[in-house]
Amino acid sequence: MSNTPVLKTQRLILRAWRPEDREPFAAINSDPEVTAFLPGAMSRSESDALADSIEARFGEHGFGLWAIEVAGGLPFVGFVGLNVPRFTAPFTPCVEVGWRLARDSWGHGYATEGARVAVRFGFEECGLDEIVAFTAAQNRRSRAVMERIGMTRNPEDDFDHPSLPANHPLRRHVLYRLGLAGMSQTRAEKTADD
């Protein structure tokens, strides 16, 4: 039995990973559009190793990168959730919110919707004080999601990702932050807009 908590939104189910998720996850990780702002496309064995690592993190931290299922629709469209980065940077140790979706699931708001419920879980159930997100500076789509969920960027926090070589075009990363007070304010503003 899985110890992964299940989170639900109006359209999404964030759940434990299943064996049948491995094949579509490998397709996501080999798509050049999906991996355009990542170090590169993954082989099937690399994708499976990443899935193993993701599953193990729930046991370590009580949270992780949930598999995303569209309620009443697609059984697996990618992942969204919380992660503890394993590299060292001025802002680590920390907890980040992250996502990776199949190309045909972009543009539906799934990343934003899933990230919001994952962030809420981090603050309300895990007692976190701050959650960060980061991406290559050129990744406008992910930066837009970070902004939609209420995260803010201070350019002084931007950094060179230590896992990428000095001449890599994606080395420069932007860092966004969200504190507990900011999440409460974002939720109040969203409620006022509804």
**Which pLDDT does position 3 carry in this prediction?**
78
Burial class (CB in 10 A: 0-12, 13-18, 19+), 154: exposed
Can you give the residue range of the structural domain that contains 23? 7-193
| Separation of CA 154 from chain center | 20
* CATH number for the domain that contains residue 171: 3.40.630.30
- Inside any domain, residue 1: no
- Inside any domain, residue 72: yes
Q: Give the whole-angstrom CA distance, residue 68 versus residue 128.
A: 22
**Which pLDDT does position 192 carry in this prediction?**
47
What is the tens place of the pLDDT at every residue in 107-138? Answer: 999 999 999 999 999 999 999 999 999 999 99
Question: Using alpha carbons only, what angle is made at residue 168 by residues 163 and 172, rounded to the nearest 5 degrees?
Answer: 70
What is the tens place of the pLDDT at every residue in 10-27? Answer: 999 999 999 999 999 999
Number of domains in the chain: 1
* 153 DSSP β-pair partners: 176
- Inside any domain, residue 2: no
What is the DSSP track for 148-187? HTT-EE-GGG-EE-TTS-TT-TT-EEEEEEEEHHHHHHHH
Q: Give the whole-angstrom CA distance, residue 184 versus residue 151.
A: 12
First-to-last C-alpha distance (Å) of the chain: 38
Contact indicator for 67, 18 with CB cutoff of 8 Å = yes
- Inside any domain, residue 39: yes
- Inside any domain, residue 120: yes
Q: Give the whole-angstrom CA distance, residue 101 versus residue 169.
A: 22
**Which pLDDT does position 183 carry in this prediction?**
60
Which residue stretches of the chain have pLDDT < 70? 1-2, 182-194
- Rounded to the nearest 5 percent, the helix, strand and coil shares of the chain are 40, 20, 40
- Inside any domain, residue 165: yes
**Which pLDDT does position 1 carry in this prediction?**
43
Q: What is the pTM of this model?
A: 0.90
